Structure 1
Amino acid sequence: MPTPPPTAPCPCGLPADYANCCGRYHSGAQQAPTAELLMRSRFSAFAVGDVPYLLRSWHASTRPPRLDLDPDQQWVRLEILGAERGALFDTEGSVEFRAHYREGGHTGSLHENSSFARERGAWVYVGPLSPVVFD
């Protein structure tokens, strides 16, 4: 998938354009300063098809060797339901979210409470804290 224009709304749902929101993390210009912002940037990476960023932002102990995104699945909206720790001076945290998608003319959502940790100073996704639920 092509990268969105810099002035396009960011897929993560924050009121900023892509370049000034998740695009700066995807490009490597900056690192997400909190677990929630990393979660938002990962959702945006799924939405724009940025597999290298998804793998880079995954904890080494749980990162898959490769990731193949389904081209028919379109991630369209993110809801942050809650967050614990994961701030500037924390070393771990969690973010509960619901990610909405379209696929084959149908809509659905994925509900997950994710664990995040700092790895070499950068926030990374570790994995789900409880079973992932698809609605």
Structure 2
Amino acid sequence: MDMPCPCGRSASYASCCGALHQAFAERRGLTAATPEALMRSRYSAFVLDLRDYLLASWHASTRPAELEAPEPGLKWLGLDVKRSALQDAEHGTVEFVARSKLGGRAHRLHEISRFVRENGEWFYVDGDLKN
């Protein structure tokens, strides 16, 4: 039996974010249909430590050279998408809250992320942290 998708949708991982991760692994590109789908797949990639996917889905203009391994003991607890919007056919934003726990302390990442579509594929550009 397939595990539930870490992104919080009611679908299985294989039929949700796992399908995007698999398409990338098979070199079929980043196939997310919307900025929200890409953001959810990126959250799941953080949960599953899929750094190659995270880097590939990050726009080249803002992509770091590498991502460090997650801190030992980091546990992702959930994702809440607050709002998703398209500014036009090539630009979108997603506001979300991602919750995690490390060393017995709860953490909350609240961000409004910006996405751009190039050659039919969505990429994460950057985000503004909210308090």
Q: Give yes or no for TM over 0.5.
A: yes
Q: Which runs of 5+ in 1 are unaligned?
A: 1-5
Deviates more, 1:69-78 or 1:49-58: 69-78
Q: Which residue of 1 aligns with 2:92?
A: 93
Q: Aligned partners of 1:38, 1:68: CA distance in 2, in Å? A: 21
Q: Which residue of 2 aligns with 1:45?
A: 45
The ranges of structure 1 where at least 4 consecutive aligned residues each deviate by more than 2 angstroms after the TM superposition are none
Instruction: Say which SS state the counterpart of residue 127 (structure 1) adopts.
Output: strand
Query: Does structure 1 residue 23 correspond to structure 2 residue 18?
Result: yes
Q: Which residue of 1 aligns with 2:116?
A: 117
Q: Which residue of 1 aligns with 2:9?
A: 14
Q: Which runs of 5+ in 2 are unaligned?
A: none
Instruction: Say which SS state the counterpart of residue 36 (structure 2) adopts.
Output: helix
* Percent identity of equivalent pairs: 45
TM-score in terms of structure 1 length: 0.86
**1:74 positional shift:** 1.7
More helix by share: 2
TM-score in terms of structure 2 length: 0.88
**1:106 positional shift:** 1.3
